[in-house]
Chains A and B, each alone.
Chain A
Amino acid sequence: MTDATAQAPGASSLPEDLTAERNASRVGRRFGPSGSAVVMVLYLLFLMLPIYWLLNMSLKTNNEILGAFSLWPRNATLQNYVTILTDPSWYMGYVNSLIYVLMNTAISLTVALPAAYAFSRYNFMGDKHLFFWLLTNRMAPPAVFALPFFQLYSSVGLFDTHIAVALAHALFNVPLAVWILEGFMRGVPKEIDETAYIDGYSFGRFFVKIFMPLISSGIGVAAFFCFMFSWVELLLSRTLTSVDAKPIAATMTRTGGAGGIDWGVLAAAGVLTIIPGALVVFFVRNYIAKGFALGRV
């Protein structure tokens, strides 16, 4: 029995009854059977309450928001959403954001894939230094780069274009993508590469036909993280745009009108920015931790 325990790497080799007993006792030893559930419910409540409040506000008229305090909308209205979806100065914000986010994701992945492969497979002169230098860019405060970016992109005539924001976000997304992809690629045995070369595959064909399908989950996760960090960033995207490529996040900062801030529309705009993330998170839920750990879980 002790032997089996010492060498068993997984639970599959353990007797069924012992595993069951172990689970029961572990739960019991904690906070009682429902202790964990209580903790989780409280924590999720803490997370969801502010989001619920935003949703609540978005379904109210401004008069109702400022008039009577209520926990749920008395006369639920979609007027705020209609305002946003019919006014180009609002909905173009979403379009602009999506354009530069998608451009950034495409650029980041295209350059990161070969680089990550090089880092995961080869030693070459200066590889460690290069890797560290990439890391420092992921950690660089955007505030440091705001002004120089503004001047750089103005001087090359790219100010207020989508590509400017996409390139600026590449500063932190490319290193991130390289790190995540490298983490996934090192999990693929090198014998696969060698076998493919023996079979007469060229590098390009091997990479696209064999290697990329093998790390497709890694590519998905890297794409998700590029999408996400580009989507949530405001400082650089606001600094680099004025009208034509203005992101939704920047549009939201100008809801203050003559009659004070239009809280209802602001809340509705906020709710709409949560939706893209909420949609994609479902597909990568099991890989999120791996992505945040830069491929190292």
Chain B
Amino acid sequence: MKTDNQKAWFLVLPVLVLVSFSAVIPLMTVVNYSVQDTFGNNVFFWAGLEWFDQMLRSERMWNALGRQLAFSSIILAIEVPLGVFVALNMPKKGVWASVCLVLMSLPLLIPWNVVGTIWQIFGRVDIGLLGYALDAIGIDYNYTQGFYAAWATVIVMDVWHWTSLVALLAYAGLQSIPDAYYQAAKIDQASRWAVFRYIELPKMLGVLMIAILLRFMDSFMIYTEPFVVTGGGPGNATTFLSIDLVKMALGQFDLGPAAAFSLMYFLVIMVISFVFYTVMTSLDKRDAK
């Protein structure tokens, strides 16, 4: 069991200093901007909660949030069942298991802008295999102009990029099931579905929870991949929260509204992180029993 020791603070001090430097100071800059206004020349004056008020009324932010939630829900609805399904079909051991693990990990290790580039090249009607094939069978597909084509591309790209993560975690959960469980199920003449429902699913639940929350969180912050492929277009069709924020802060230099936007965005993430943390610690406690 753990022992009480206040000197342990010295061991975490380096982390505290480093992360404070990278997190607290920049965050305070954001807070600073969010309550001030400027007419240039670095002259700032107090604006109170004006920016927050403005952003909460701004249709632009609500639309971006709506698109973001739609995107995150869709990719979760596809990636989680697909990932579990793939994990159930993976070879249990041997050379093929290694081959599958390595090949499946590959998309996870590709720089995010290159993921965008890959799908750009793959999806273009003139040079891409996918775009060319769809065009050849008569489907009107152009991800830079069509609303549905753009969404479909961004979603398929994310499924391509991240389903393996869900599959790997589910696979790790499956590996931890002792053979005796299957043995008992066999004696009880359990159906395939019952084996999945009462043995495999409960054993996978812990890691699956982590997978779902990680995927939700990361899809909620997605920036690079859709930015490279669609640039947030056509129009604003695929402008998710991060894309909109960067556009506002670094593109238009609307510091006040962007800072208020950032803080509210961060708040949402904090709430989700708290749920995540609570789930994880309760799982750890369950494991410890």
Binding site for B on A (CB under 8 A): 2, 5-6, 8-11, 14, 18-19, 21-22, 25-26, 29-30, 35-36, 39-40, 43-44, 46-51, 53-54, 57, 65-66, 69, 71, 107, 110-112, 114-115, 117-119, 121-125, 127, 130-132, 134-137, 139-152, 167-168, 170-171, 174-175, 178, 190, 228, 231-235, 239, 248-249, 252-253, 263, 266-267, 270, 273-274, 277-278, 281-282, 285-286, 288-290, 292-294, 296-297
Contacts and interface: CB of A to CB of B under 8 A. Distances in A.
A127 B105 CA distance: 34
5 contacts: A121-B3, A130-B12, A135-B276, A281-B106, A285-B105
Is chain A's interface secondary structure helix, strand, loop, or mixed overall? helix
Contacts of A21: 186
Contacts, number: 319
A22 B29 contact: no
A134 B19 CA distance: 8
Given A137-B23, A297-B169, 8 more contacts: A6-B184, A30-B89, A44-B104, A118-B8, A139-B272, A139-B276, A143-B262, A170-B19
A294 B207 CA distance: 10
B205 interface: no
A43 B14 contact: no
A53 B245 contact: no
B155 interface: no
Contacts of B127: 57, 65-66, 69, 263
B182 interface: yes
Nearest to A131: B277
A280 B141 CA distance: 37
A143 B223 contact: yes
A6 B176 CA distance: 17
B180 interface: yes
User: Would you list the 10 A-B pairs with minimal beta carbon distance, nearest first?
Assistant: A277-B109, A11-B179, A148-B26, A289-B172, A118-B11, A143-B242, A122-B8, A118-B8, A111-B14, A141-B221
A61 to B, nearest CB: 13
Interface in B168-210: 168-169, 171-173, 176, 178-180, 182-184, 186-187, 192, 195, 206-207, 210
Given A39-B89, A289-B168, A289-B172, A267 B121 contact: yes
A14 B169 contact: no
Nearest to B15: A115
B160 A140 contact: no
Interface string B213-257: 010010011011000100000000000011101100110000100
Contacts of B243: 143
A143 B8 CA distance: 33
A142 B23 CA distance: 11
Given A18-B183, A47-B103, A293-B207, A142 B223 contact: yes
**Candidate in B19, B106, B165, B250 with the most chain A CB atoms within 10 angstroms:** B19
A175 B277 CA distance: 13
Interface string B27-38: 101100000000
A282 B25 CA distance: 39
B145 interface: no
Contact of B106 (A47, A107, A110, A123): A47
Interface string B51-63: 0000000000000
Contacts of A146: 246, 249-250
A110 B113 CA distance: 29
B21 A141 contact: no
A234 B100 contact: no
B171 A289 contact: yes
**Candidate in B27, B113, B210, B274 with the most chain A CB atoms within 10 angstroms:** B113
Contact of B3 (A50, A122, A278): A122
Given A118-B8, A171-B19, A140 B269 contact: yes
B86 interface: yes
B105 to A, nearest CB: 5
A122 to B, nearest CB: 4
B152 interface: no
A53 B128 contact: yes
B91 interface: yes
Interface string B113-127: 110011101100011
B224 A167 contact: no
B111 interface: yes
Contacts of A297: 169, 172-173, 176, 207
B72 interface: no
A44 B86 CA distance: 10
Contact of B121 (A53, A107, A234): A53
A110 B13 CA distance: 12
Contacts of A292: 165, 168-169, 210-211, 214
A285 B4 CA distance: 37
